[in-house]
């Protein structure tokens, strides 16, 4: 299977700052890749280069086998792009913008009308079609931006923060839309909302200081969390000290963190040595000792923790 998107050795400098420092990856049909990273990590810059807006200082990008630098028009025809902040012409209406884009994209007659119709229905903007963009809410603007990106049903979609400014229902709609388009496209989305990666992406990439620092399925990334397989336990205040001492002494426990106490009980997070499952061991220990346990469950590992740990260098430190 040939790659829909091939990025290799991408470098972009702005004066003394290297915004993108050797990013390489490739994507195939059906992949939904979530770009994660702190602000200024190089996510948007990478997207701007993939879509042919910025010229890379080094490296190459091919979209559906078209080189973005050598054959930009063919590459751009295969791409749909929602730029950061969804910029649109403020004095035009969504209908005029979609018509303009479809003309530029060489959609004609019935095919044009069908494409516009499909895009309008996909993002639910029918009720604002004839209002100038400048009068629309942020959520509607974002959805019009999305509509123009998917108008020509491109094989590769690049969406810079597609759900920014949307309310929870609209977010859900956009995520469903992305998922429904996923099987026959390669889609990149950038986001700050890590739950979004869980919800729509089957691949996640963390970018920090212009480099790829993690790349895998969301589940694989979660497994890198310091809290992976950690156990959450809530015991009564009377037996808390004993529980803490006993747990800390166990070989399968890396460390014990206190999360706070309330109403006579204390909440501990028990980090697993080697991040292996320890729920049964902790359960057995709790059962054997006479702690008064209120709650005991496996802490769900969250991408937020991985993200923070990787982008602040915590994981590297722990490993060394």
Catalog residues that contact another protein under the rule CB under 8 A. Answer: 14, 48, 51-54, 73-74, 76-77, 79, 81, 83-85, 87-92, 96, 100-101, 103-106, 132, 148
Give whole-number Cα distances, 268 to 32, 225, 235, 314, in Å.
36, 17, 8, 21
> Looking at beta carbons only, is 73 or 110 nearer to another protein?
73
Beginning with the edge strand found earlier in the chain, give each strand of the sheet holding 58-63 in spatial order: 17-27, 5-14, 58-63, 66-67
* Strand partners of residue 293: 235
> Looking at beta carbons only, is 14 or 297 nearer to another protein?
14
Q: How far is the CB of 95 from another protein (least distance, A)?
A: 13
Q: How far is the CB of 134 from another protein (least distance, A)?
A: 10
Give whole-number Cα distances, 70 to 20, 63, 79, in Å.
20, 11, 15
> Looking at beta carbons only, is 53 or 252 nearer to another protein?
53
153 vs 181: CA distance, rounded Å? 9
> Looking at beta carbons only, is 91 or 130 nearer to another protein?
91
Strand bridging mode 79-82 / 66-67: unpaired
> Looking at beta carbons only, is 129 or 223 nearer to another protein?
129
Q: In the numeric block, which tokens belong to residue 192?
A: 């700050």
Give whole-number Cα distances, 243 to 46, 81, 239, in Å.
49, 54, 6
> Looking at beta carbons only, is 157 or 282 nearer to another protein?
157
Q: How far is the CB of 73 from another protein (least distance, A)?
A: 5
8 vs 296: CA distance, rounded Å? 46
Q: How far is the CB of 98 from another protein (least distance, A)?
A: 12
> Looking at beta carbons only, is 90 or 277 nearer to another protein?
90
The continuous run of DSSP H or E covering 30 comes out as none
Q: How far is the CB of 91 from another protein (least distance, A)?
A: 4
Give whole-number Cα distances, 21 to 18, 33, 45, 204, in Å.
6, 19, 11, 18
Q: How far is the CB of 84 from another protein (least distance, A)?
A: 8
189 vs 159: CA distance, rounded Å? 5
> Looking at beta carbons only, is 66 or 307 nearer to another protein?
66
Give helix 138-150 / helix 168-181 axis angle, nearest 10°.
10
Q: How far is the CB of 260 from another protein (least distance, A)?
A: 44
Q: How far is the CB of 111 from another protein (least distance, A)?
A: 15
Q: In the numeric block, which tokens belong to residue 63?
A: 């979209």
């Amino acid at each position: 299977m040939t790659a829909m998107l091939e990025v290799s050795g991408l470098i972009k400098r702005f004066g003394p700052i290297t915004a993108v420092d050797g990013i390489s990856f490739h994507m195939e049909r059906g992949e939904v890749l979530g770009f994660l990273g702190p602000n200024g990590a190089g996510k948007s810059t990478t997207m701007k280069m993939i879509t042919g807006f910025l010229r890379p200082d080094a490296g190459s990008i091919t979209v559906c086998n078209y080189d973005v630098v050598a054959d930009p028009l063919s590459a751009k025809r295969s791409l749909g792009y929602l730029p950061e902040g969804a910029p649109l012409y403020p004095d035009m209406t969504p209908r005029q913008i979609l018509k303009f884009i479809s003309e530029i994209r060489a959609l004609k007659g019935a095919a044009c009308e069908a494409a516009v119709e499909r895009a309008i229905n996909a993002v639910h903007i029918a009720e604002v079609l004839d209002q100038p963009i400048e009068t629309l809410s942020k959520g509607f603007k974002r959805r019009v931006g999305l509509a123009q990106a998917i108008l020509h049903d491109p094989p590769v979609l690049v969406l810079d923060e597609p759900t920014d400014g949307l309310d929870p229902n609209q977010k859900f709609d956009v995520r469903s839309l992305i998922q429904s388009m996923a099987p026959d496209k390669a889609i990149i989305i950038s986001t700050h909302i890590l739950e979004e990666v869980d919800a729509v992406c089957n691949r996640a990439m963390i970018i920090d200081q212009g480099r790829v620092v993690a790349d895998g399925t969301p589940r694989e990334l979660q497994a890198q969390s310091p809290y992976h397989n950690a156990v959450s336990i809530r015991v009564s205040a009377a037996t808390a000290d004993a529980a803490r001492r006993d747990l800390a002494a166990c070989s399968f426990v890396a460390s014990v963190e206190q999360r706070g106490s309330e109403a006579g009980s204390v909440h501990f997070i028990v980090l697993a040595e080697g991040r292996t499952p320890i729920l049964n061991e902790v359960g057995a220990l709790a059962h054997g000792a006479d702690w008064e346990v209120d709650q005991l469950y496996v802490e769900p590992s969250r991408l937020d923790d991985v993200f923070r740990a990787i982008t602040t260098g915590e994981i590297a430190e722990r490993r060394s």
